[in-house]
Structure 1
């Protein structure tokens, strides 16, 4: 064992690492990203849940109750509703997570000590369901200027009703999300190494010599993996229904269409990565750099509503965020793709942008 030769090897590896800018960026970027995500973006103390309020009573007491609920910071009105049915439609479309229904006879119910208000919650997210329970603690009797504490008339006057997962079973929420997580991990990784593998094996020159256009080559790389993604989707759906009794309340065709949208988005993202990476190892590193924020910010592990606004804007650029809204809306709430059209358009736009960038970068690297 020669210390001099050993030192030479160490210096050589450090110099090679210094030239490998992608690996160097991963060494510094991954711990920084994890620290920022877990320390700043992840928040289990939910505030500002998207909500709508249907106040059919329109009395001074009902308006005071609404102000008290808003003062808790738990909910934030993002839509308008005139009836409980409109609240249910908004819940089903995923536009709100909480709906507050105040009936016309609110004052009479309140004085009689009966259930006077219903808080309708999208129970497909158990964390949101738990946060909404705080609204049941808001007193129905308003505190008027110069008066004492509100008179307690009866208990259970604000009822929290959870839809779509009243048993609060975790698999009902997790299994649909796992479809997106697995497709993101595998599809991006498969195609991230596609072009790099051809280059490392010496097949790229042969492909260039053929009359196949660059767009045909890139699309041809994507299509076989799309079939693999559909097989994975089928396996997860069957196991989820068999082992965990996860329902599919919407159309099965809609589930597969949503899966195809995510598959195409991830495959085009993988192709873009493959045009940047110099080796298969670099391609896998870059895949992990994309996968980590996707799983943390999409709403799969941590509630989306608990993240700061800038982080939510960043999460909107991730395909998994939109797919989770689609698949949970279809499977758990029985919504259709047309009702969830903003997320459909977001995935289509992402796919078109990534494919265009991949083709442009591929042309530059071959010219």
Structure 2
């Protein structure tokens, strides 16, 4: 082995890495991203769960108990309800994840101590909410000597099956992982193989060129959704309680949003390897911050605000809302609007960056 020749090759590779700014940024950026996400944003100790209070007792002691539970910071009691119908509506729409109910005979239950005086209704489609709700089951109001004092009502997933929480989220995760990468790589491959020369000679506009590349992948995404739903239903008995057509409508918008992100990344990458790197770079924060792996409510506010910019965050809410809570698209219109705005922004920026010149 000739050490001089070996040193020359090492020096050449280092100079090449130095000139490849994107690869150098990934070398530094991916560890920093993981460190920040896992060290700062990921928190298994859930606090501030969006919740409501249905106080049917209306007594001074009932208000005292509500104040004590609110002070624990596990629940963010932001809604005061007047009827069980309001509770059902807010849970189905995903605006709250839990509800504290104080029955009309709250005082009598405290005296008799024959039934739990409090009821906590939780959204069972989110396992992190279930785990946090069990912490409150140990709470005992003043004058209560028996356990438990809180009756847990687990809606939408009374058996606490993990598959009901996982499979709807996997639809978004799989679509994100495949479509963003496929689109970015496919468009960069056209440039690398010289096929872009033929497209330059055509009268195609940037919008026509962009959409023409995106539309074939829409069918691929819909096929993937169908496969996941069939396998999830056959192997794990995951239901689709809402309208199947509305679920496909939400999936279609998310597919287009993922493809728009892939097109945008293709305008930044010069090689297929760079496109793959950038796709992974966008995939990592989505899977960690969307609420798929870690509880959304446990994240700091800054991380939650950033997660609201990611399309997977909104699709997870749509998929779980339609499949598990029988919610409709009209009830989840804010999530649809967020996906639509993301799609329009990514496509517009990508079209502006499409330059029909070889240089």
TM-score band w.r.t. shorter chain:
over 0.9
- SS for the counterpart of 2:88 is helix
Contact 2:138 2:148 in 1 (8 A): no
With over 3 angstroms needed to count, the CA separation of the structure-2 counterparts of 1:98 and 1:123, relative to structure 1, is: same
Deviations for 1:219-261, whole angstroms, at most 9, x for unmatched residues?
0111000000000000000000000000111111111111111
In structure 2, relative to structure 1, the CA distance for the partners of 1:353 and 1:59 (3 Å cut) is same
Corresponding residue number in structure 1 for 2:348: 356
Indicate the residue corresponding to 1:199 in structure 2.
Answer: 191
Choose which of 300, 303, 315 in structure 1 pairs with 2:307.
Answer: 315
The match for 1:337 is 329
Give RMSD over aligned pairs.
1.3
Aligned to 1:120: 121
- Pairing 1:260–2:279 present: no
Q: Provide the C-alpha distance between the structure 2 equivalents of 1:68 and 1:119, rounded to a whole number of angstroms.
A: 15
1:20-65, Cα deviation, whole Å (9 max, x unpaired): 0000000000011111111111111111111011112211010001
- In 1, Cα distance between equivalents of 2:283 and 2:40: 18
The SS at the match of 2:325 is coil
Alignment of 1:202-221 (within 5 A): 202-221=194-213
Q: Return the alpha-carbon distance in structure 2 between the equivalents of residues 192 and 198 of structure 1.
A: 10
- Residues 72, 365 of structure 1: alpha-carbon distance in 2 compared, 3 angstrom cutoff: farther
On the 8 A contact 1:111/1:153 being kept in 2, the answer is no
Aligned to 2:153: 161
Deviations 1:9-29 (A, max 9, x none): 111110010010000000000
Select 1:325's aligned residue among 294, 317, 324. 317
Distance 1:223 1:156 in 2: 56
Please, what TM-score do these two structures have when normalized by structure 2? 0.97
Q: Distance in 1 between matches of 2:194 and 2:172?
A: 34
Q: Is the 8 A contact 2:110 2:144 kept in 1?
A: no
Moved more, 357-366 or 237-246: 357-366
Q: Kindly indicate whether residue 227 of structure 2 is the aligned counterpart of residue 226 of structure 1.
A: no
Which one of the candidate residues 277, 280, 297 is aligned to 2:272?
280
Higher mean Cα deviation, 58-67 or 151-160? 151-160
Aligned mates of 2:304, 2:355 — CA distance in 1: 34
Q: Which runs of 4+ in 1 moved over 6 A?
A: 364-367
SS in 1 for 2:252: helix
TM-score normalised by the chain length of structure 1: 0.95
In the alignment, which residue of structure 2 is the partner of 1:43? 43
CA distance in 1, matches of 2:356, 2:122: 51
Work out the CA distance in 2 between the residues paired with 1:122 and 1:91: 7
Aligned to 1:99: 99
Query: In the alignment, which residue of structure 2 is the partner of 1:148?
Result: none
Flag the 1:205–1:63 CA change in 2: closer, same or farther, 3 A.
Answer: same
TM-superposed deviation, 1:153: 4.5
Partner SS for 2:137:
helix
Matched, 1:188 2:180: yes
Total equivalences in the alignment: 358
